[in-house]
Amino acid sequence: MEYEAVIGLEVHVQLNTKTKIFCDCSTKFGNPPNTNVCPVCMGMPGVLPVLNREVLHKAIIAGLALNCEISAYSKFDRKQYFYPDLPKNYQVSQFDLPIALNGYLNINIEGRQKKIGITRLHMEEDAGKLIHEEGAGSKSSFVDFNRTGVPLAEIVSEPDLSTPQEAYIYLNILKNRLRYVKVSDCNMEEGSLRCDANVSIRPKGVKELGTKAEVKNMNSFKAVEKAIEYEIRRQIKAVKDKEKIVQETRLWDADKEITISMRSKEEAHDYRYFPEPDLVPMEADKKWIEELRKDLPEMPDIKAKRYMDEYKLPQADADLLTSEQDIALFYEECIKHYDNYKTIANWIMGELNQYLNKKKLLITELSKLTSENFVKLVKLVDSGVITGKSGKEIAADVIEKGVDPEKITEEKGLKQVSDESEIESIVDEVIKENPEAVENYKKGKTTVVGFLVGQVMKKSQGKANPQVVNKLFKDKL
Amino acid sequence: MAITKDDVKYVSTLARIQMNDKELEAFTGQLDTILEYMKKLNELNTDKVKPSSNILDVKNVQRQDELNTPSLTNKEALAEGPDTEGEFFKVPKVID
Ligand SMILES: [Zn+2]
């Protein structure tokens, strides 16, 4: 029998605000333990939490970026459970009236488009951090409440995903969109994005859903993809072996690349949600929401599609250029000056990206880089005024110091020499100095021409036009 | 009967409250009396009343995203903890 998988994702992103969701404590990462805390976030009796307006603001923007409807009326609820990282013994979350509902993202998979529904987006507070004492016989865990009350948005997808690859693409679009609208850094390694996957299988063609397992503990999108892949294989094997699939939470083990059941002793999840009496309801300001909607930038996946349609870029290029908004905006600036779309894309993905990676910089940190100079550089190479090699050599100065590539070409005398008579003397010199190579060439070992051309390039300090040099050798030998 | 002994037992487990049989009996009786009394509200016709989740006629209370009130120091934060070690609260180990 053939099986298909049904996958739903729950993504938590940290909304990037200066202070926590219900108190003035800082959200700064890396402060000493238990110093970003106050009576409100530690759940002391008698305190009054007040919603941070910026959390609501960013949650609404996130909802809009994911094509959600923003709720006209929304409220917070208490989700009750006991765990040492939760000082109040309840988490303030949203239950039946979340801030945003009914969104979707379109993903492109092997040339066809698939719509993935987003059930809801709600606001909630993060829990604290537990550090477990190491070693056999250890009896204690240590609690740091700095993260307690850090604002999160939980984004729940419909079970519309059918393959690990679809889940991977969905996550990338979700992340890129939330980064474009600047509500979250979405950095999985730093914990500002977490993803749990609900996975089940069913025989192909069957409507009812199978029993699902919730898979947690993945620390990258690739890990999410692998964990889902493993989980599908495990469930299919279990069914074929006539084992019963149980509803449970499973942890991804990145070293062994398997999921392991969390056989916890916890009782049935019964969170007994009820409205949070200390926080008043939120009624949407329709005008404000419409303004926010109008201010949304062109979304990265839409932009990528436009790059493919308008600029005829391959999908890989379009995806890469649009994954960082500031890179995409720079690209768009550049092509205003020069319409060789693919060449500009190559230079941005090549020289510029390499430079940024090497120096661990963001493009916004390059205060002297201008699109005018960058395009001038591309044009100089493209039109053959300087060689590609010279172009690469001066690229760093253009990118970092903002020098005018035309000026530096003059100053350094980098102009490519294409005039045959000028190059001819060097070619003759090289022929005279390398009788052995010349002999080999004449015997039919034509590959030595590369070596000879290299010698000419060296003598001309890289300025000789390699094509002209090549031609001259062929004529002379 | 508005509530059974099993209900009370279940809720007490969730709330981490231990009860012996005598207490269970007594509390079930008391809770039942309270809930039976509250049932009176069901006699009201609420067809035209909008659901509400808050008793106050207030909405949209928010603060600016500013660090106005300073956080506690580590010493102050840990002062109320029943057990601490270094900069942390100390609790019985929660995983095995
Ligand atoms: Zn606080």
Residues A160-209 pLDDT 10s: 999 999 999 999 999 999 999 999 999 998 889 999 999 999 999 899 99
Answer yes or no: is pLDDT of B66 > 90: yes
* Beta bridge partners of residue A282, listed in sequence order: A74
All domains of chain B in start order, with CATH: 5-42 (1.10.20)
Q: How confident is the model at residue A311 (pLDDT cuts 50, 70, 90)?
A: very high
Tell me which chain A residues have a C-beta less than 8 angstroms from the C-beta of B55.
277
Q: How many residues are given for chain A?
A: 477
The ipTM value here is 0.91
Q: Which residue has the tokens 């092997």?
A: A110
Task: Specify the 3-state DSSP secondary structure of A324.
Answer: coil
pLDDT digits (tens, 9 = 90+) for A123-162: 999 999 999 888 778 889 999 999 999 999 999 999 999 9
Q: Which residue has the tokens 């200390």?
A: A278
Answer yes or no: is pLDDT of A265 > 70: no
Q: Domain A420-476 belongs to what topology?
A: Arc Repressor Mutant, subunit A (1.10.10)
CA A298/CA A313 separation, integer angstroms? 18
Identify which has the larger pLDDT, A425 or B46.
B46
The whole-number pLDDT of residue A269 equals: 73
Query: Residue A215 — φ and ψ, nearest 5°?
Result: -105, 125
Q: What mean pLDDT is predicted for residues A293-315?
A: 96
CA A25/CA A41 separation, integer angstroms? 8
Residue B50, judged by CB atoms within 10 A of its CB (0-12, 13-18, 19+), counts as exposed
Contact map slice: A 317-346 vs B, CB within 8 A: none
Query: Residue A154 — φ and ψ, nearest 5°?
Result: -100, 130
The whole-number pLDDT of residue A264 equals: 59
A462: left (phi over 0), alpha (psi -120 to 50) or beta: left
Kindly list the distances between the CA atom of residue A87 and the CA atoms of A52, A128, A276, A439, in Å, as whole numbers in the listed order. Answer: 20, 8, 16, 85
Q: What mean pLDDT is predicted for residues A303-312?
A: 96
Answer yes or no: is pLDDT of A266 > 80: no
Q: Cβ of B18 under 8 Å from any chain A Cβ?
A: no
Answer yes or no: is pLDDT of A384 > 90: no
Q: Cβ of A19 under 8 Å from any chain B Cβ?
A: yes
Check CB contact under 8 Å for B77 and A34: yes
For chain B, first and last CA: distance in Å? Answer: 42
Check CB contact under 8 Å for B72 and A50: no
CA A334/CA A336 separation, integer angstroms? 5
* Beta bridge partners of residue A141, listed in sequence order: A132, B91
Q: Cβ of A82 under 8 Å from any chain B Cβ?
A: yes
Cβ-contact A448, A464 below 8 angstroms: no
Check CB contact under 8 Å for A143 and B16: no
DSSP codes of every residue in B18-62 = ---HHHHHHHHHHHHHHHHHHGGGGGS--TTSPP-S-SSS----E
Answer yes or no: is pLDDT of A278 > 60: yes
Where are any strands of DSSP class E within A110-216?
112-125, 129-132, 140-144, 151-157, 193-203, 213-216
Assigned token pair, A24: 């003035």
Residues with Cβ–ion distance below 5 A, ligand 1: A 23, 25, 38, 40-41
| Residue to substitute from A17, A34, A132, interface B, most B β-carbons within 10 A | A34
CA A67/CA A105 separation, integer angstroms? 7
* Beta bridge partners of residue A80, listed in sequence order: A90
Q: Which helix (H) or strand (E) holds A77?
A: strand A77-80
Check CB contact under 8 Å for B88 and A56: no
CA A81/CA A89 separation, integer angstroms? 6
**For chain A, what are the domain ranges?**
3-288, 307-411, 420-476
In the 8-state DSSP scheme, what is residue A26? Answer: B
Query: Residue A37 — φ and ψ, nearest 5°?
Result: -135, 155
